[in-house]
Structure 1
C-alpha cells in the first residue's frame, strides 16, 4: 500500500474517533506497482551435465518441466535418460541472473561406442576401435572402476576432441552387452572407388550406408563424421557401416545471438583468436576471466565460454572460465558444512563448491537431485579439485559414497613440509612407517629412505592410508610426476592392459605394442608368482596381460612385471 493511502486511512480514523464525518469521497488509492518480470535471453549451449535439479550445464541451472529431450537412439527420451558427465546440446532461455533458465530442447549423442582394445592406467588412455581416448580424475565412470576394465569390454564414451584429434572422455559407461558400434572422427584416405575411408586407422566401408545431413558426393578428407555399424559388421579391421552423419559445425547465427560452449582450445592463432568445438572465438578488453587470464589461453587448454556473435560470425567471449587439471584429491567424512559460503570440510581441509562442480550421489541414498543442501555432517565424500590463485581449494567434482570402515582413504596433491619421514598433502600431515609401501619416481618399489631422498616439495604424490587416532598413516605412497630433469631417458611409465597378438622367442605383441622383458622382470599367472620359463610356456595368443614398465616414443614396452589373467 502506498504512503498516500496510509495517510488517508489515518486521517479517516482520527475524524471518526472525534465524532466528525466527511461528506467528500475518500482519496483514491494509488495502485501497487506490478513487479517487473525478469528478462531472459535465448541461448544455445554445448556443455557437460554437472548435476540435476533440474539440469546443470555450464554453470546454469535449467528447468526441464517442459523440455523436449532426445538422444541418438530415442526421440522420446526424458530427463531420466540423462546422466552427469554427458556432453549435451541445449537450447533455451537464460535468465538475467546468468545462473538459472529454462531448457526448450536437450539432445545427447555419444562420440564413441565399442570394445576396448587396451588401457594404460598410467598414461590415462584407452584405445577403442583404434581411437585414442583420454581420461582423468574428472571423468565420470558408470558401472565400473578403471582397474577392473579388460580388453573386449564394451564402452560408451561422451566427450570432446582436443587440438590433436584425441577424444577426451567426460563420461565412460560400461555396457553389459554387444551393441551397435559408433565412431566419431575425421576422415582420411577417402577412396570413392571402393567406397572406403579411414577413421584414425580403422577402415570404414560405406558402400551400403545412408547419409545424414549431407550426401555421399560431398564426402571429403578432413570432414568430421560419425558412423554406425553392427558389432557383427566388424571384421579384420574393416567396419561396414549403416550410417554416416556429418558432424561439422554449420550453425547459422545472427549478430547478437548468445552462445555458451565448452571444450578444448583448437586452431590456436593467438589469445584473441582460436576455436572451441569448431566455433571461432575472439576476446576484447571487456572479456572477464575466471581462474586465469588471457596469458593462459593456448592449444589444448580446456575452457568454458559465454558470449555473443558479432557481425562477422565470431563468438565474442564475455566470460571465460579456465578449467584446471585436478591436482588435489581427498576422501573422508564431512566435518563441517557452510551453506552460506558453499563450503565443506573434510580432514580439516575446506573445499569451495560452486555451480560448476560435478555432483553425484553414489551412496545408498542415490539422490538424483543432489546438491550441497543434501549433505550432512558425517557423510562420506570424495572431493577432487585444484588450488586457485588465492589459495582456495576449488572442488571440480564431489561424490557421496557409502563409508567402508576397512576402506583406504586416498589423498592426492602437492607435497610440502617434508620432515622425519612425514610430509603434508592437501593440508593433511601424512606419516609413514615400516608398513608403508613406497613407489619412486621411475615406478619402482623403493625403501623409505630412498623415497624420501627422491621426494621434493611441490611434487605431485598420491597416498593411500587410514586415519588412526587423528593421525593419517600411509599404507602406500606413490610419486605421480615424472622426473623432468632426466634428459637421458625418453621412456615413460606405463600400466598397460591388452591382448596378446603374437608370441615370439623373447618378446610379445600386445594390442599393437611390442613388449620386451627386462632381466629382472617378474611374472604372475592368475595372481600366482611364476618363473620366466613357466610364463613363456603358458602365454598364448588372445591371452589378456597386465604389464607394468616403460614405453618409449615408438610404443615399445619394456616390462618390469607381467601378469596373465585367464
Structure 2
C-alpha cells in the first residue's frame, strides 16, 4: 500500500497529521485560513463538503490509493480535504482531496426490515441519508442483491456498524478491501479480526505496529479454506498528534460519550467549552448521534469545538412531481414543503445527469425524491434530494397518524385506500387490510399511488418499521 492509501484508511489520522505537519497544505493558493475537513460530499461545481464549496483546480486527488480526478467522486463519498477556507466561511480552495471506501467486496446478506447488509463481515446500515448509484434500481436497499459487488463509504457507529453515506455498485469483483479496528490479534497464527471478518496476514508484513485496537486497512484477493481473508497488504494507521491551535472540521458519529463537553468521534477526542455554539436541530447529544464539529486543537490533541451541529437522521420520504419552487432552498412535492440547506446531498439521476447539479436546475414538473426528517408543520428537511426519471406513481413515508379504516396521514397528506390497495409488513409479506390498519398507528408507513387533489390514492402501503 502506498502513502495515499495510508491516508485514506484513517480520515481522522490524516486530519491530525495534515494539521500538524503542514506539508500537505504547502503550495495551496489563496489567502484563506488553512484547514483540514473530513465529511461527505454534498454536491459539485468544485466540491461541497461540510457546507463549504472548495475549488479543486490544481488539487491533488486520490481515489482508493491511486491518483484520480474529481469526476471519479460521487455525492455521499466521505473525503478528507486539505486546503484553506475564505473569510466568508462558505468558499475555499482544496490542495488535496482524498477518498477511500471503508469496505469493498461482495454482498453476503441483505436484511430489508433492519435496513442492513453484510460485506466482508462488516454490517452496513442504510439510512435516509444514504446515497445510491443511479444504476441501483430501486434506489434503496432492495436494489442491492446478495452477490453484488459494492464499495461503501460512511461512518462507523458504536456498534461496529458502518453507517453508509454512499453505496457504489461495482461492475465486477476486484480487490477486496476493508478498514476498521483490529481485534483478537493472534501473532502465532498471524490472524486478527475486523468485526466479523477473520484476516490471515501470514503472507505479508504489516506496515506499522499491529496491535489490538489498531486502525488498519486491509487488502486481499481471496479466502482460505477456513474462510479467512488472505491479506495481500496490511497498513496500520500511525499514531499522530495535532499542532496546538491548528484548525479542523469533522463530520462523524459519536462513538463514546461522557457529556456534552467530552466525547469521541471515531477515535478523535472532542471537547466543548462556554464559547461553543450548539445547533442541535431537536436532537440530544449522545452515543451514535451524528454531528459536525469545527474548532481548533489544544496542546493535548483534543479538538475544541467552536461550533457543533447535530445532524439527526430522519425516516421521512416524499417522491413525486415538483409542484412549486416558492423560495430559494424550498420546493413543494405532493403538497409537502421540502426545505434544503448547505448539507443537503444533491444528485441528478434523471436522463440529464447534470453535474454539477444545483437547486436552481430544478423546474416545476421534475420528478424528485427527498429523504430526511420531519420539521415544523409537517415539512420535510431534506438530507438527500435526487432528481429521478419520471414516474406515474408518487410516494410518501412517515409515521402514520389519524389512522382510520380507509385513510391515514403521512407528512400532513391524507392517504386514501381502496379495495385495490395491496398491503405488506416490514418483512415484505402480504397483510390484510385489517392487519395493516391494526399495525399502522404510530409506525413508519410507506404508501405509493396516484395524487388526487390534496390526497394520495394508494395502490400500495407497507409497514416500514417502528
Question: What is the match of residue 349 of structure 1?
Answer: 336
CA RMSD, 1 decimal:
2.2
Shift in CA distance, 177/391, structure 1 to aligned 2, threshold 3 Å: closer
Question: What is the match of residue 118 of structure 1?
Answer: 109
Question: What is the match of residue 412 of structure 2?
Answer: 427
Pick the structure with greater CA Rg: 1
Shift in CA distance, 414/434, structure 1 to aligned 2, threshold 3 Å: same
Question: What is the match of residue 461 of structure 2?
Answer: 477
Q: Render the CA deviation track for 1:436-468: whole Å, top value 9, x for unaligned.
A: 123358976443344334432x43211121224
Residues 373, 383 of structure 2: 8 Å contact kept: yes
Distance in 2 separating the partners of 1:356 and 1:200: 30
Residues 441, 454 of structure 1: 8 Å contact kept: no
Q: Render the CA deviation track for 1:302-358: whole Å, top value 9, x for unaligned.
A: 111111112332111122221122231101111111453x11111121111111000
Tell me, what secondary structure is at the counterpart of 1:354?
Answer: coil
Matched, 1:159 2:151: no
Give the C-alpha shift of residue 264 in structure 1. 0.8
Choose the corresponding residue for 2:185, options 186, 190, 203: 190
Q: Render the CA deviation track for 1:491-510: whole Å, top value 9, x for unaligned.
A: xxxxxxxxxxxxxxxxxxxx
Choose the corresponding residue for 1:384, options 359, 365, 371: 371
Matched, 1:206 2:206: no
Number of aligned residue pairs: give it.
Answer: 433
Residues 374, 411 of structure 2: 8 Å contact kept: no
> What TM-score do the two structures reach when normalised by structure 2?
0.87
Distance in 2 separating the partners of 1:102 and 1:273: 31
Equivalent positions of 1:393-432 (< 5 A) are: 393-405=380-392, 408-419=393-404, 421-432=406-417
Distance in 2 separating the partners of 1:176 and 1:311: 47
Equivalent positions of 1:133-532 (< 5 A) are: 133-142=124-133, 143-145=135-137, 146-212=141-207, 214=208, 218-231=209-222, 233-247=223-237, 250-292=239-281, 296-340=284-328, 342-388=329-375, 392-405=379-392, 408-419=393-404, 421-439=406-424, 445-456=430-441, 458-468=442-452, 471-482=455-466
Question: What is the match of residue 27 of structure 1?
Answer: none
Question: What is the match of residue 33 of structure 2?
Answer: 41
Distance in 2 separating the partners of 1:425 and 1:303: 27
Distance in 2 separating the partners of 1:52 and 1:289: 28
Residues 404, 437 of structure 2: 8 Å contact kept: no
Tell me, what secondary structure is at the counterpart of 1:147?
Answer: helix
Q: Render the CA deviation track for 1:167-207: whole Å, top value 9, x for unaligned.
A: 11111112121201101122222222232222223332212
Residues 421, 448 of structure 1: 8 Å contact kept: no
Distance in 2 separating the partners of 1:441 and 1:173: 25
Higher relative contact order (CA closer than 8 Å, sequence separation 6+): 2
Shift in CA distance, 453/165, structure 1 to aligned 2, threshold 3 Å: closer
Give the C-alpha shift of residue 370 in structure 1. 0.4
Distance in 1 separating the partners of 2:403 and 2:162: 38
Distance in 1 separating the partners of 2:410 and 2:196: 43
Give the C-alpha shift of residue 402 in structure 1. 1.3
Give the C-alpha shift of residue 263 in structure 1. 1.0
Tell which deviates more after alignment, 239-248 or 111-120.
239-248
Shift in CA distance, 144/302, structure 1 to aligned 2, threshold 3 Å: same
Shift in CA distance, 298/334, structure 1 to aligned 2, threshold 3 Å: same
Distance in 2 separating the partners of 1:289 and 1:201: 37
Distance in 1 separating the partners of 2:361 and 2:145: 36
Question: What is the match of residue 43 of structure 2?
Answer: 51
Q: Render the CA deviation track for 1:351-398: whole Å, top value 9, x for unaligned.
A: 111110000000111101001111111111111111236764311110
Tell which deviates more after alignment, 418-427 or 179-188.
418-427
Tell me, what secondary structure is at the counterpart of 1:451?
Answer: helix
Distance in 2 separating the partners of 1:163 and 1:265: 8
Give the C-alpha shift of residue 420 in structure 1. 5.7
Shift in CA distance, 415/101, structure 1 to aligned 2, threshold 3 Å: same
> What TM-score do the two structures reach when normalised by structure 1?
0.72
